[in-house]
Amino acid sequence: MNGAVDRPLDITVDRSRPGTVVLVLTGDCDYETAGGLRDAAEEVLRLRPAPRSLTVDMGGVGLCDSSGLSAIVSVWQLTGKAGVSLRLIGIDDRLMNVMEITGLDGVLADALVPDPEAAGRSAN
Amino acid sequence: MRETGRRPGAASALIVTSPHRIPEPPPGQAAGRHVPGAAVGASVLRALVEDGPALVVCDTEGGVVFRNSAAETLVPRLRDARRLASPGVPQWLSEAHARGAATAEGPAGDREVTATRSPLPDGLTAWRLADVTEERTACRRLADERGRTRFLALASARLLASLNRSKCLQTTAELAAGQLADAAVVVAPAGRRRMTLTGAVAGDAPREKSLPAAADVEEVPGLAEALAGFPPVPSRWVDPALAPQWLLPPGFGELGSLVVTPLPGNGVPAGALVLLRRAGSPAFTEDEEVFARVFAARAGAAISAAVLYADKNDTTEILQRDLLPPPLAPVEGLDLEGAYRPARAVERIGGDFYDVHPCTFGEGEEGTFVVLGDVCGKGPGAAVLTGRIRNTLTALRQVESRHDRLLRLLNDTLLRRQGADARFATMVLADATPLGHGRVGLRLTSAGHPAPLILRGDGRVEEAETRGTLIGVVPSVTSTTWETVLEPGETCLLFSDGVTEARGGASGNEMFGTQRLSGALAECARMPVRAVVERVEMLTAQWLGGNEHDDIALLAVGAPRGSHLTAVDGTGRGRYTG
């Protein structure tokens, strides 16, 4: 590859707010790295006591390809089964556009509602 | 002297032929009573000579005038020999003496001996003899060992040069025949029931044949065990008379001896190596048998690697076959052109696909059903799902022509599959119906896929207004279908995101994007579909500039230019009678 540099995906787990775990993603979420997001979510859902909600902060994500989307869908399915509410924040226009094309914006509508707490936090 | 204890009577071997007599020591100067500072006496010299290395003293005529006991031990016949040229004394020594050579060497009985000449006063010559048997054997062993190491290195290099099973078997047979035997046969399983015999006679090209139907590996003692692999069977001697004819390479001649060695594989044995020597060739030594096993271990590893690779390759090929789009057959009243550029790197091969089926829409309306899609992810998982989607769609299309219902059925089918994961697919469905006069009716439905672009005759590019949910993730999917008509010369382009997400350009990391694709299309107004597809393909390739890319699929549906001229009265097949 000349130029198109793949970045790894860093996932930071933020548990500073009670009942909520925030996964902060930085890097590319693609075929090679998307598995990490799924694994991280599974780990969060194994926590006891279980968190009430999981927030995935995609603000630091550069590229998100179909495998990345698939990982997001996985996380949505896993949280749904576990009864944990999911929020996706920091989604850029391009990714939002892809979500619109694929119809995922409808599927993930609940998760895409801006989180007042997260919004409040970033305003601080 | 007698205390040297070489052997009984050895002391008398200090044969002294007058006049070269070493005088007996005077009494009082016997061993152990030497006076410090005094000159060394004859008895000391005697002791030194007698106790030293093998020594023969000869006169100019070759007469033996003296030999010590070590010389007699080495060449027993020297004891009684009056001349060097006597029976039982090595001929090479007397010849060396006669021609005045400084050194000589040769066998003496079962020993290997070197001789070095030292001139002595009074025209006498001393030959110092040394037994070099051990040293020479060690050297030969080392040379052998080096030769074998060289052979193994060469064998490894040749065996690893190819991942082709047949080639590996042939190389094994060829190397074994050249180095270890007169001929070699590699017996290896090929599939569940077949066995192949790859035979090579030293110096000839190897040949592969199937094990004859009437033949049984049990006929060769030790072969069935070697092929069974476990417990590991040691190579064993086999009565050559028991070996069946089918084992011998053609023209081999009479068999003298054979060795059967297992070719250990990766868990499963790779086969067996049979080494053959002709009657008259030396039989296999234990050493050779051990070495054959060392070679067989390397060959077995190479063969099983080749077999594994072939298996994996077969699997990949089968999977890829399902990924490859079909050749497009000409359709009357419709121009179709597709391009599929699979990802170069095998691990990036994903699930872009397209299919074209002739079909009937509703009331006998004939046309063509087109689908272009993209299964998320890459590798075998994506390939399997791609195959499943294509098959399911082909089948469902027979019973359901409405796009929204078709997509719902497909979604239900995929959700019910075993081990359902988050792998999804996006696709565009298109029904193309020739309307006569060169016009083509289009029904387009996107299921989570980038909407097709329509290139109008005046260069405008429209995006099809269709949208829908991706397939395979959620229980209920919705979609909207959009209909339009292509006038002669107009084109509708279906594409995968491999085009719009191609990363390259000036920065090397920018996406090609829908805007650029639209722009590129606009320049293709009224071009034939083939030219449109080629142009988009070329621009994408230029944009990539050699970067890695995902699968890229393009499919253009066009209304033929000018074909309405023939379609006006085209009643021959009753197609447009409606």
Cβ–Cβ gap B501/A65 under 8 Å:
yes
Tell me the sheet residues that pair with B366. B360
| Whole-angstrom distance, CA of residue A54 vs CA of residue B227 | 57
Domain contains A2:
no
Chain A nearest CA to B378, separation (Å): 7
Q: Indicate whether B415 and B517 sit together in one domain.
A: yes
Domain contains A120:
no
Q: Indicate whether B118 and B266 sit together in one domain.
A: no
Examine the fold and report which residue of B77, B107, B131 is the final residue of a domain before the chain moves on.
B131
Cβ–Cβ gap B469/A107 under 8 Å:
yes
Q: What is the pLDDT of residue B279?
A: 87
Structure tokens at A23: 């996964």
* pLDDT tens digit sequence for B496-522: 988 988 888 888 888 899 999 999 999
Domain that includes residue A37, residue range:
9-113
Q: Which of A5, A74, A103 sits opposite B470 (nearest CB)?
A: A103
CATH code for the domain of B240: 3.30.450.40
| Whole-angstrom distance, CA of residue B483 vs CA of residue B479 | 13
Domain contains B63:
yes
Domain contains A124:
no
Q: Indicate whether B147 and B127 sit together in one domain.
A: no
Domain contains B577:
no
Q: What is the pLDDT of residue B290?
A: 84
Residue B475 burial (C-beta neighbours within 10 Å; 0-12, 13-18, 19+): exposed
Examine the fold and report which residue of B81, B111, B131 is the final residue of a domain before the chain moves on.
B131
Domain contains B145:
yes
* pLDDT tens digit sequence for B345-390: 555 566 788 989 888 766 667 889 999 999 887 777 777 788 888 8
Domain contains A29:
yes
Structure tokens at B192: 């569940």
Domain contains A122:
no
Domain contains A104:
yes
CB contacts of B422 in chain A (<8 Å) are 38, 70-71, 73-74, 77
How long a stretch of residues is chain B? 578
For the range B91-98, what are the long-range contacts, defined as Cβ-Cβ under 8 Å and sequence gap of 24 or more? B93/B56, B93/B127, B94/B62, B97/B58, B97/B62, B97/B125, B97/B127, B98/B62
CATH code for the domain of B524: 3.60.40.10
**Domain total for chain B?**
3
Q: Indicate whether B35 and B111 sit together in one domain.
A: yes
Examine the fold and report which residue of B91, B112, B131 is the final residue of a domain before the chain moves on.
B131
| Whole-angstrom distance, CA of residue B184 vs CA of residue B208 | 12
Q: Indicate whether B211 and B294 sit together in one domain.
A: yes
Report whether pLDDT(B576) > 60.
Answer: no
Domain contains A119:
no
Q: Which of B424, B509, B550 sits opposite A70 (nearest CB)?
A: B424
Helix, coil or strand: residue B482:
strand
Report whether pLDDT(B235) > 60.
Answer: no
User: pLDDT-derived band of residue A5, with 50, 70 and 90 as boundaries?
Assistant: low
Structure tokens at B310: 């072939």
CATH code for the domain of B63: 3.30.450.20
| B113: contact with A, CB 8 A cutoff | no
Q: Indicate whether B121 and B149 sit together in one domain.
A: no
Query: To probe the interface with B, which of A1, A29, A66 has the most B CB atoms within 10 Å?
Result: A66
Torsion of Cα atoms, A34 then A38 then A41 then A45, to 10°: 180
Domain that includes residue B247, residue range:
138-315
Domain contains A123:
no
- B47-61, B145-159, B455-469: range with highest mean pLDDT: B455-469
Domain contains B18:
yes
Structure tokens at B132: 């070099």
Q: Which of B376, B377, B474 sits opposite A107 (nearest CB)?
A: B474
Report whether pLDDT(B540) > 60.
Answer: yes
* DSSP structural state of residue A88: E
Confirm if B463 and B484 have CB atoms less than 8 A apart: no
CB contacts of B504 in chain A (<8 Å) are 3-4
Structure tokens at B39: 């000159």
Cβ–Cβ gap B470/A102 under 8 Å:
yes
Mean pLDDT of chain B: 83
Q: Indicate whether B253 and B353 sit together in one domain.
A: no
Report whether pLDDT(B282) > 70.
Answer: yes
* pLDDT tens digit sequence for B139-153: 988 998 888 888 988
Q: Indicate whether B348 and B398 sit together in one domain.
A: yes
What ipTM does the predicted assembly reach?
Answer: 0.73
CATH code for the domain of A108: 3.30.750.24
| B411: contact with A, CB 8 A cutoff | no
Q: Indicate whether B471 and B508 sit together in one domain.
A: yes
Domain contains B324:
no
For chain A, percent of residues with pLDDT exceeding 70 = 86
Domain contains B574:
no
Q: What is the pLDDT of residue B563?
A: 47
Among the residue ranges A77-86, B217-226, B452-461, B530-539, the one predicted with the least confidence is: B217-226
User: pLDDT-derived band of residue B169, with 50, 70 and 90 as boundaries?
Assistant: very high
Q: What is the pLDDT of residue B13?
A: 42
Q: Indicate whether B115 and B169 sit together in one domain.
A: no
Q: Indicate whether B399 and B470 sit together in one domain.
A: yes
Q: What is the pLDDT of residue B14?
A: 46
| Whole-angstrom distance, CA of residue B184 vs CA of residue A95 | 64
Report whether pLDDT(A41) > 90.
Answer: yes
**Domain total for chain A?**
1
CB contacts of B451 in chain A (<8 Å) are 101
Report whether pLDDT(B545) > 90.
Answer: no
User: pLDDT-derived band of residue B549, with 50, 70 and 90 as boundaries?
Assistant: confident
Taking alpha carbons only, the member of B408, B510, B373, B423 closest to residue A69 is B423
